[in-house]
Structure 1
Amino acid sequence: MKNIFGLLAFLLVLCANAQQKDSLSSPKPENTLDEIVISGTLKPVTRLETPVPVEVYSSAFLKKNPTANVFEALQNVNGVRPQLNCNICNTGDIHINGLEGPYTMVTIDGMPIVSALSTVYGLSGIPNSLIDRIEIIKGPASSLYGSEAVGGLINIITKKTKNAPLFTADLFSTSWLETNIDLGFKASVGKKATSILGLNYFNYSNAIDNNHDNFTDVTLQDRVSIFNKWDFIRKDKKEFTVAGRFFYEDRWGGEMQWNKLYRGGNQVYGESIYTTRFELLSKYQLPIKQDMFLSFSATSHDQNSVYGTMLYLAQQKIIFGQYLWDKKLNRHNLLLGAATRYQYYNDNTTATLTSEKATIYSLFVQDEIKLTEKQTLLLGSRYDYNNNHGSIFTPRIAYKWNPTKNDVFRINAGTGFRIVNLFTEEHAALSGSREVIITENLKPEKSYNINLNYLKKIRLEDATFLSFELSSWYTYFTNQIIPDYDSNPNQIIYQNLKGYSETLGVSGNIDLVTPYGIKVLLGVTFMDSKNEREGIVTRPVLTEKFSMNWAVTYDIPDWFLSVDYTGNLYGSMRLPLLGPLDPRDEYSKPWSLQNIQFTYKKFRNFELYGGVKNILNWTPNKGNPFLIARANDPFDQNVQFDMNGNAVPTAENPYGLTFDPTYAYGPNQGTRIFLGLRFHID
């Protein structure tokens, strides 16, 4: 803590003589409609022109609520919710429109380098200084990106080296003694190439137990990530990019007296995860007149984890290659592609007796047809052949109508197909004392989705800019692998659905920019989800009925000051109880995380910022007797069971519970102050 604040003071003195009296930046929409996007159609096009709705969030948006990773930053995006799946190790995933993390594909520069085993880790440690923007598609994108993109896509796009500053530094620390250091460097290698190097280091080593259950409220972490990107300069000005990332993290949570000497033992409970990742990606434009591209990515993920006495060792490797041909023919804009993906997975669980190897061969075609000056039709289809599961066909259709230059109507429909790898996706299957029951061979999940979208932009005479966007969607699963917590409180049962699952929702975004220094980004989502299994209809766990997100900025040029007020509000969601006697709330109460930040911009190339996170001091234990069931007996030494293996109530265990940390739906971290600085040299 002293070191980082000493560095803050040093850079403040360094820049004190370089005062800048320019006013703050001119008004600009946060989610600009003229920005070029690529995620919807795999080719550059403005947001207003693409037939596939794409939301864009710039690096400036990420700065409104500074976080140590992209995973946390997405909490301020409408319809997107980072979900914590464990109160101890704090692993999680990203929910989009009510669908859980495995249904969302996460890519970096369009390359599928983040897998189900590593979603939370893949979104951690990406240096924010190197992020240009984040593009989000809500709805099926399987016809372009493959079977994982059932619910949507999050594409993290890094900066082009020519646009990156020579040096950037972003450092902050909090009153909880969390420290984040983010550095970026740019260099030219003669006239042949330019390179950017990003370093991210995060450390949190201060065990805190504010709810007095003898367990850490927040997982302790020591993380380092190195990202390096090269753009090679070619005579024909064609694109050639190579990038790589190394990631290592040591995280643990558990009883306050835990240390590494207890790792894997039954004396003191702890969950400890060592993660090592390597990533490589490249894009090469062929030196011919036609627009043809070759892309490549490879990842290696090694995880060494213990959950109490349970050891989980897992390795996953993915190699991906893709060919694209972008061809225009009169009114048709064709995109032809072929891809090959090799996946290797192995772990030490009984579900993986031998290593799983899969090779997927893919062919896809997309035709964007200009019907009239105001109407566009997009047709797409993808054929995948999986050597383990056979043929997979995913069609797609989209229609766009521009009645005026400021209005856009869109309709998108498509199918999804996803192969479940249970132990990489369900943390609850690894932690706690519930027995995992798999009743049958789990078949692939299949879904259908339709999305309606309307976008309107308005520019008033006083230079006020207003845009609003309305969307509605419907997702229907003919098969979905849903953990059953209800049939037996001591088991998690996995089986094919034998019914259906559906989600119906509507959402709206408002983006307001005024010439008076006020910017507002507001989003609201309402949805209704249900599962029907053998005639019984239930509401999915950990799925909210409504949510709201906002980011309000007020610039005060005369004071060189900018104020950001960000937050979210989530409605009630069903929670996984351990039985009818469990005293915890079955449904969460509405909850909100709100933050305020002050940024001082008087000095050239330098910003000093600080504020308060979670100003309402909300934590999920509010109103609950406890979060972690049987925290006083994590190895169930004093639990009595009946002949069927069910915990029975006793004087010492009146609710008949077993140890379980999966009653998690929000971050268990209260109010904290943060202070940081940003410095750059162009």
Structure 2
Amino acid sequence: MKVILLFLALLGSVGVAVAQSPLRVLVRDERTKTALPGVTVVIPTLKIGAATDANGRADLPNVPTGPQQVTFSSIGYGTRTVSFTLPQASTEPALVELEPSSLELQGVVVEATRTGSRIEDVPVRIEVLGPEELDEKSSMKPANIAMLLTEASGIQPQFTSANSGNVAFRIQGLDGRYTQILRDGFPLYGGFSQGLSLVQIPPLDLRQVEIIKGASSALYGGDAIAGLVNLVTKTPIATPELNVLLNQTHKGGRDLTAFYSGRTGQLGLTLLATQNTQRAYDVNGDGFTDLPQVQLTNVNPRLYYYLNDSTTVYLGATAGVETRTGGDLEAIVNQPVGLHRYIERNRSERYSTQFRVDAKRRGGQVLTLKNSLSSFTRNIQAGDAYFAGKQFSTYSEASYLVPAGAHRAVFGATVTTDNFRETTAPVPGTAPRDYQYQTYGLFAQDDWKPLENLTLQAGIRTDYQQTYGWFVLPRFSALYKAGAHVALRAGGGYGYKAPTIFANATEQQAYVGVRALNPNTVRAETSRGLNADVTLKGLIGDLGVVLNQAAFYTRLEHALIPNPALQPLGIIEFANSSSPITARGLETNLRLNIEDLQFFTAYTFTDARQTYDLSQPAQLPFVSKHRLVLTTVYEQPKNFRLGLEGTFNGPQYLGEGDRQGRGFWLLGALAEKQFPPHFSLVVNVENFLDVRQTRYEQVVYGPIDRPLFRPLYAPLDGLVANIALKLTL
């Protein structure tokens, strides 16, 4: 009898062991269909759970077979409970979609800091534009990310060409060349290739945009004195999906954009293809274009290979070809003849590859290998002047993430090359403007959590730049959570930038009259910066409130500036400033949410000063001291969305003595009607007050065949209305 009982007990225990099965899920945004990292997946009755990874996947091993109630929750999304019966019928993860509930973007995993931490746990102040905002902005401006970034809080647009329609942006008042733009951690848009980047990068394949303000060279090397922007793309999903966006503006703009995502077994694919055109358009009737003629084609395929549950390999490629023509409208539409012959034409080609391997090891350790190759060519004709060049750059990185108790440390090494060769015929008596830069870097960073409510981050990077020598770049940040509703951050770091001739000032002149740098006299630019902020969040009745107050300070040494004595002659010759540039200020962000109504406002005060030219105002040119952003959205999910936006840019000096541009408001309205499950219709009006610089002054002056252009501080295109059709197949 005892033997029989023992046998039955063993059989029962085997039955319990056998009657268990893993639960695999993929969680994504219900509207945008993008994967959601950081979602909490819990089986309350069993008290077990997990969080989704960067690809929106979560695995719960050893779950008893039979029916299970699983709860999915993430800040910014409504909680959802789903019934599953285990074992699952397929080895593919079950798809679960969450409905957005607010503009708050807590709970997402950020990639720019390399440690794969959730945003609320990162000591560095990072702003994330998530799927909801990206979806809205891509409906308003599907051709590029210029609107997406220049309407973000604390970022100010700078219009750099009256003919090409180019736009740059300033973070904390500093020139656009001091901000590093990354794509999935690859620095693909630096130097010569940064000139047209904002107006050539489409947003439809982006999952989120991460913005770090303040010196960030310790993270990714040079170019990040003012901060960095990391564009994070979507990854393949188990259910194949095709998103198509058709857009038409009333001023001759047309966009056709398509994005495909799918995964079968060990292979995944994403594919972005865009075709954007714009008709040459003269808004104010002066005979010169305010919107250039544009033809842009982009193709971006990415192939993913999931070797096993712990190793992912992907290979991506980007190809973009654009022709952008502005100037005398008659010369563009017909033929240059007589006095009507001034044309500014940009022809650019952008090609790049990205290769990455992520290998997870025991204990959460991750080995990451990256490599990218990038080629950018651009030919500029500005009247009778020409400039052409080719940039070829590479980036290679090996890093190792090591979680150990209260620490998350990452170590790595990078090799960066940046070679520029001018292909224009050399001007007699002038030095070539070519350069060849190689940079070798080592970095280490540790996120240490000594207390449950305290996180410290310390990092250091050492770069050897072959032309300008060694740079040691420490960085330190701290996060203290004083309860569930208050968080304080503070940090600082060092930055540097290897000098080049590519800046907003030279872009405005189409590189005409720009002299080569003298490597024997020009030094690298260096900086030190501090940032601090406090976040308060909670509920007042049914009203959700998030308030963030930040302060910043940057001191830029050896700033590369044009010789003021030569600028009136149309010549730009760079030299290092004799004294520093300082930028300090305050930024206030407020988010309110009650049921379907959301409100956001951001005010930025920027005091950016130069101390080297006493003949000019101390305030840096093209910097508004005061900038205000207002956004209101009312949405009924799966039905409709209404949005109102407004930005105020205060007066700014224009680099011509005491002359100032006036302050102005830009107001826009959007309405979207959704017809689930396959399409929605969007009507959008930008700048409905029709604010244009040409309403305040004549921008084009001088002879028709050899025109001159005033510095730009406001848009030229005025009111633009568009209608977009979004299809999900």
- Quickly name the TM-score band, shorter chain normalised: 0.7 to 0.9
Deviation by residue 1:36-87 (Cα, 9 ceiling, x = unmatched): 1121x21211111000011011232133341121122222201112321111
For residue 467 of structure 1, what is the aligned residue in structure 2? 546
Give the 3 Å change call, closer, same or farther, for CA 531–564 of structure 1 in structure 2: same
Cα drift, residue 108 of structure 1: 0.7
For residue 11 of structure 2, what is the aligned residue in structure 1? none
For residue 274 of structure 1, what is the aligned residue in structure 2? 347
Alignment partners' CA distance in 2, 1:660 and 1:434 = 14
For residue 153 of structure 1, what is the aligned residue in structure 2? 228
Alignment partners' CA distance in 2, 1:673 and 1:429 = 27
Give the 3 Å change call, closer, same or farther, for CA 327–454 of structure 1 in structure 2: same
Give the 3 Å change call, closer, same or farther, for CA 357–494 of structure 1 in structure 2: closer
393-402 or 56-65, which deviates more: 56-65
For the 8 Å contact 1:395–1:414, the answer to whether it is kept is yes
**1:295 maps onto 2:343 in alignment:** no
Give the 3 Å change call, closer, same or farther, for CA 327–556 of structure 1 in structure 2: closer
- Which fold has the larger relative contact order, with Cα–Cα distance below 8 Å and residues 6 or more apart in sequence? 1
For residue 610 of structure 1, what is the aligned residue in structure 2? 683
For residue 126 of structure 2, what is the aligned residue in structure 1? 54
Task: Say which SS state the counterpart of residue 144 (structure 1) adopts.
Answer: helix
Cα drift, residue 163 of structure 1: 6.8
Alignment partners' CA distance in 2, 1:336 and 1:678 = 43
Deviation by residue 1:619-660 (Cα, 9 ceiling, x = unmatched): 012222x11232x3443xxxxxxxxxxxxxxxxxxxxxxx43
Percent of residue pairs identical: 20
Task: Say which SS state the counterpart of residue 257 (structure 1) adopts.
Answer: helix
**1:219 maps onto 2:292 in alignment:** yes
For residue 677 of structure 1, what is the aligned residue in structure 2? 725
Q: CA RMSD in A?
A: 2.6
For residue 560 of structure 2, what is the aligned residue in structure 1? 481
**1:549 maps onto 2:549 in alignment:** no
Which residue among 147, 150, 161 is the counterpart of 1:75? Answer: 150
Give the 3 Å change call, closer, same or farther, for CA 329–662 of structure 1 in structure 2: farther
**1:177 maps onto 2:285 in alignment:** no
Cα drift, residue 218 of structure 1: 1.3
Deviation by residue 1:309-339 (Cα, 9 ceiling, x = unmatched): 1111110011111011111233332110101
For residue 499 of structure 1, what is the aligned residue in structure 2? 579
Which residue among 620, 624, 636 is the counterpart of 1:540? Answer: 620
Alignment partners' CA distance in 1, 2:338 and 2:441 = 46
Alignment partners' CA distance in 2, 1:86 and 1:365 = 40
Which residue among 453, 464, 467 is the counterpart of 1:388? Answer: 467
User: What are the within-5 Å matches in structure 2 for residues 222-261 of structure 1?
Assistant: 222-259=295-332
Give the 3 Å change call, closer, same or farther, for CA 91–123 of structure 1 in structure 2: closer
For residue 418 of structure 2, what is the aligned residue in structure 1? 343
Cα drift, residue 180 of structure 1: 1.0
Task: Say which SS state the counterpart of residue 45 (structure 1) adopts.
Answer: coil
Alignment partners' CA distance in 1, 2:534 and 2:337 = 53
For the 8 Å contact 1:265–1:308, the answer to whether it is kept is no
Cα drift, residue 209 of structure 1: 2.0
Task: Say which SS state the counterpart of residue 408 (structure 2) adopts.
Answer: strand
User: What are the within-5 Å matches in structure 2 for residues 401-412 of structure 1?
Assistant: 401-412=480-491
For residue 567 of structure 1, what is the aligned residue in structure 2? 646
User: What are the within-5 Å matches in structure 2 for residues 598-637 of structure 1?
Assistant: 598-624=671-697, 626-630=698-702, 632-635=703-706
Task: Say which SS state the counterpart of residue 466 (structure 1) adopts.
Answer: strand
Alignment partners' CA distance in 2, 1:226 and 1:164 = 22
Counterpart of 1:677 in structure 2: which amino acid?
L
For the 8 Å contact 2:431–2:515, the answer to whether it is kept is no
Number of positions where the alignment pairs a residue of Structure 1 with one of Structure 2: 621
Task: Say which SS state the counterpart of residue 78 (structure 1) adopts.
Answer: coil
Deviation by residue 1:594-626 (Cα, 9 ceiling, x = unmatched): 1101111134221111031111000012222x1
For the 8 Å contact 1:499–1:535, the answer to whether it is kept is no
Alignment partners' CA distance in 2, 1:546 and 1:264 = 45
Task: Say which SS state the counterpart of residue 89 (structure 1) adopts.
Answer: coil
Cα drift, residue 287 of structure 1: 6.4
Task: Mark the structure with the bigger radius of gyration.
Answer: 2
For the 8 Å contact 1:117–1:425, the answer to whether it is kept is no
For the 8 Å contact 2:501–2:514, the answer to whether it is kept is no
Cα drift, residue 435 of structure 1: 7.3
Give the 3 Å change call, closer, same or farther, for CA 187–36 of structure 1 in structure 2: closer
For residue 197 of structure 1, what is the aligned residue in structure 2? 271
User: What are the within-5 Å matches in structure 2 for residues 5-154 of structure 1?
Assistant: 28-39=101-112, 41-65=113-137, 66-67=140-141, 68-154=143-229
For residue 60 of structure 2, what is the aligned residue in structure 1? none
For residue 518 of structure 1, what is the aligned residue in structure 2? 597
For the 8 Å contact 2:677–2:728, the answer to whether it is kept is no
Alignment partners' CA distance in 1, 2:380 and 2:337 = 9
Cα drift, residue 409 of structure 1: 0.7
Give the 3 Å change call, closer, same or farther, for CA 277–70 of structure 1 in structure 2: same
Cα drift, residue 441 of structure 1: 3.2
487-496 or 324-333, which deviates more: 487-496
For residue 533 of structure 2, what is the aligned residue in structure 1? 453
For the 8 Å contact 1:417–1:445, the answer to whether it is kept is yes
Task: Say which SS state the counterpart of residue 237 (structure 2) adopts.
Answer: helix
For residue 713 of structure 2, what is the aligned residue in structure 1? 665
598-607 or 216-225, which deviates more: 598-607
Cα drift, residue 212 of structure 1: 2.9
Give the 3 Å change call, closer, same or farther, for CA 95–31 of structure 1 in structure 2: farther
Which residue among 301, 313, 322 is the counterpart of 2:397? Answer: 322
Task: Say which SS state the counterpart of residue 99 (structure 1) adopts.
Answer: coil
For the 8 Å contact 1:432–1:660, the answer to whether it is kept is no
Alignment partners' CA distance in 1, 2:502 and 2:454 = 45
Cα drift, residue 518 of structure 1: 0.7
Task: Say which SS state the counterpart of residue 73 (structure 1) adopts.
Answer: helix
Alignment partners' CA distance in 2, 1:427 and 1:265 = 29
Q: Please report the TM-score for the alignment, with normalisation by the length of structure 2.
A: 0.80
Counterpart of 1:78 in structure 2: which amino acid?
S
Alignment partners' CA distance in 2, 1:110 and 1:512 = 32
Give the 3 Å change call, closer, same or farther, for CA 603–187 of structure 1 in structure 2: closer
Alignment partners' CA distance in 1, 2:389 and 2:337 = 16
Cα drift, residue 181 of structure 1: 1.2
Structure 1 unmatched runs, 5+: 1-23, 636-658
Give the 3 Å change call, closer, same or farther, for CA 457–628 of structure 1 in structure 2: same
Higher share of residues assigned strand:
2
For the 8 Å contact 1:168–1:184, the answer to whether it is kept is yes
For residue 15 of structure 1, what is the aligned residue in structure 2? none
Cα drift, residue 28 of structure 1: 2.6
User: What are the within-5 Å matches in structure 2 for residues 578-589 of structure 1?
Assistant: 586-589=659-662
Give the 3 Å change call, closer, same or farther, for CA 269–446 of structure 1 in structure 2: same
User: What are the within-5 Å matches in structure 2 for residues 423-462 of structure 1?
Assistant: 423=502, 426-428=505-507, 430-431=509-510, 441-462=521-542
Deviation by residue 1:472-508 (Cα, 9 ceiling, x = unmatched): 0011112111335577533445321001110111001
Alignment partners' CA distance in 1, 2:419 and 2:343 = 29
For the 8 Å contact 1:127–1:183, the answer to whether it is kept is no
**1:363 maps onto 2:442 in alignment:** yes
Alignment partners' CA distance in 2, 1:162 and 1:27 = 19
Alignment partners' CA distance in 2, 1:139 and 1:471 = 12
For the 8 Å contact 1:165–1:680, the answer to whether it is kept is no
Deviation by residue 1:389-438 (Cα, 9 ceiling, x = unmatched): 11111111111111113321111101111112114654357449777697
For residue 53 of structure 2, what is the aligned residue in structure 1? none
Give the 3 Å change call, closer, same or farther, for CA 376–297 of structure 1 in structure 2: same
Deviation by residue 1:558-579 (Cα, 9 ceiling, x = unmatched): x9321111121100101144xx
